[in-house]
Structure 1
């Protein structure tokens, strides 16, 4: 019996050592610790359980939303994982309006000329309109580097387009590797429509995500998902070019951020406090082992879909309120929140609908 026990123990140890050796040899990441916020999240109110589900079953992972005009009619727009730019008519029906293609369509915003600016994680910054689809930027002119993970976009009144490149090392389908590595590979980019050039405004961002302009367009906000904060980049005045922290220690990883009519901002927060994830992020070897076994990551990712949260933040960076679904059964993994005409509209990479919630 002792011999059998010893043989089994020896086999398990051999297998464990083999897994460690495999992880060290083949892991694509060079991880560092991820520091989680120390403050307690706001008390749950489950207000997001009251959302109306628009287009349920018709929309595949609608990550972002926009409100745009076509003639005299207003439409709700979104892009989906099956490559469509879709829009909802006033009677609640959805139209597959423009086929863009691919599975990496993320941020969307209405352009001043009536078309749409769309971030395709694989192709870069796109312009979509009646004339079709045009790639505006697939690389950065400053250094010739490829845009690997175009994520969120906003256009200023002067025509300048600001957009995020979430990671220069890992692409859309490898986002979990960027999360495990927890190093600052992201950047904030600017596309100049007059010269058709793209330049780097900020680099060394920890998963650069949502972007938004202030009401007066004197500053630009960019979210750092893996640092649980949003940064403020001044565009005008005496502080032009200066970088400040707009809000930090958020109770989730900030995804998209949108300007509200009153000048405040709505920030969608994704649940990065996975079960055991705090512990995992303390150990580089464990993260390396996970990086070579994506199936294990899939198991852990399930915890990301157990809650939804969005926060409203004043223009000075003060938290006003938080809305959530603590169960994730109605709304989960909110990636964008847009206020329009007294309602919030929610996008989500995990859901098959757009959420709609009355604010008053």
Structure 2
């Protein structure tokens, strides 16, 4: 029997044992108790129950901006004058949309080590080889007071660039003498403090799938004080913390914890200040979270939770074992991530589900990484495809 076949037999035997086991017996296994105390698999309820199924294809009414001109527009932002959207790409650039005639214009870069390998045509789909050289801007936020654009670059940390663009300058690039490995998203509070996530202290973004597969718990949630220049860890031990959004009244921050398929709430003010809690379980893997002018939160989903992901989530040791086996990543990814299925949810600041938008077959909108509401439209980013989608909220009426 060949080595590769033996490995697959071993994997299948472990999975058969797992699915045949009594869930109550699994809790006695060493190292699982603490994790199970945090993790619910599957969720105890279906957040989409009672929602009309006409939402399944609503996002197919979206218009595509710049099909094929850009790749991997993960996050979106508008400046104080309403220009944009601005978005960061897989080739390390930040670009601005200047309308259908002008299209996308280069605005800024995060890495000073740019060369021909960073050109768009040299960054084919799913190729991550040059990200650590060219930079990979993820979360974007404008400081409306100064006009500066703040950037969470996966490899280079938090940076900022002025209203005229150009090469961004570092703001905070590490903690306790160590550079950030996977900086992800950020947001400001009303006092100008910056909150941001570092998804892993073990893996870089080009290894993000290993972090997801292993249920890596080295993620952190930080605060940066621009006056004192002090960086503080607010939460640690997170499993791929991702999107960040401060509430409209400034009392709390919402953090998406992707590998746990849930939203966390960190209290900034009030009797619970400096504490955090699980705000809600989710039906999919959340990416970025963005607040609209009314104070509601748009949650973008990378994908819905698969059967395999839900039921192996309570056994991180099994996921860790599989991650160490010489199995091509594309096969492992297929087990955890289903076919593209766009899902967007809107929650009130009290946690009530207000709206569901989908493109269930993924005909127009596929993997969603962020939803930015602006002037009655939703601008939809996707880290895995060459497009930004624009959806008129009037289509939801």
Q: Shorter-chain-normalised TM-score: which range?
A: 0.7 to 0.9
Q: CA deviation at 1:213?
A: 0.8
Deviations 1:111-131 (A, max 9, x none): 231111111111111112236
Aligned counterpart, 1:47: 58
Deviations 1:238-273 (A, max 9, x none): 33212232222x111111001111111100012153
Q: CA deviation at 1:14?
A: 9.0
Q: Give the direction of change, closer, same or farther, for the CA distance of 1:275–1:245 in structure 2 (3 Å limit).
A: closer
Aligned counterpart, 1:37: 43
Aligned counterpart, 2:232: 199
Aligned counterpart, 2:387: 353
Deviations 1:11-65 (A, max 9, x none): 24895169969xxxxxxxx998873435346345221111110111111100010
| TM score, norm. by length of structure 1 | 0.85
Q: Give the direction of change, closer, same or farther, for the CA distance of 1:88–1:181 in structure 2 (3 Å limit).
A: same
Q: CA deviation at 1:347?
A: 0.6
Separation (CA, whole Å) in 1 of partners of 2:322 and 2:224: 39
Which has more strand, going by share of residues? Answer: 1
Aligned counterpart, 1:16: 6
Equivalent residue for 2:374, pick from 325, 340, 343: 340
Aligned counterpart, 2:269: 236
Residue 256 of structure 1 pairs with residue 283 of structure 2: no
Aligned counterpart, 1:68: 79
Aligned counterpart, 1:315: 349
Separation (CA, whole Å) in 1 of partners of 2:170 and 2:5: 48
Deviations 1:273-300 (A, max 9, x none): 34744465558456523444362x3134
Equivalent residue for 2:146, pick from 113, 116, 123: 113
Q: Give the direction of change, closer, same or farther, for the CA distance of 1:359–1:194 in structure 2 (3 Å limit).
A: same
Q: What pairs up with 1:78-227 in 2 under 5 angstroms? A: 78-91=87-100, 93-101=103-111, 102-111=134-143, 112-129=145-162, 130=164, 132-140=167-175, 143-227=176-260
Separation (CA, whole Å) in 2 of partners of 1:316 and 1:308: 24
Q: How many residue pairs are counted as aligned between the two chains?
A: 336
SS of 2:94 mapped into structure 1: strand
Separation (CA, whole Å) in 1 of partners of 2:69 and 2:327: 28
Deviations 1:193-249 (A, max 9, x none): 11222110111112111000111112111111111111111112333212232222x
Separation (CA, whole Å) in 1 of partners of 2:310 and 2:192: 42
SS of 1:349 mapped into structure 2: coil
Separation (CA, whole Å) in 2 of partners of 1:104 and 1:291: 26
SS of 1:74 mapped into structure 2: coil
Aligned counterpart, 1:3: none
Give ranges in structure 1 of 5+ residues lacking alignment.
1-10, 22-29
Question: Is residue 61–residue 80 contact of structure 1 (8 Å, CA) maintained in 2?
Answer: yes
SS of 1:179 mapped into structure 2: helix
Q: Give the direction of change, closer, same or farther, for the CA distance of 1:197–1:47 in structure 2 (3 Å limit).
A: same
> Which 10-residue stretch deviates more, 126-135 or 106-115?
126-135
SS of 1:339 mapped into structure 2: strand
Q: Give the direction of change, closer, same or farther, for the CA distance of 1:82–1:117 in structure 2 (3 Å limit).
A: same
Question: Is residue 285–residue 305 contact of structure 2 (8 Å, CA) maintained in 1?
Answer: no
Separation (CA, whole Å) in 2 of partners of 1:211 and 1:283: 25
> Which 10-residue stretch deviates more, 48-57 or 98-107?
98-107
Separation (CA, whole Å) in 1 of partners of 2:304 and 2:96: 30
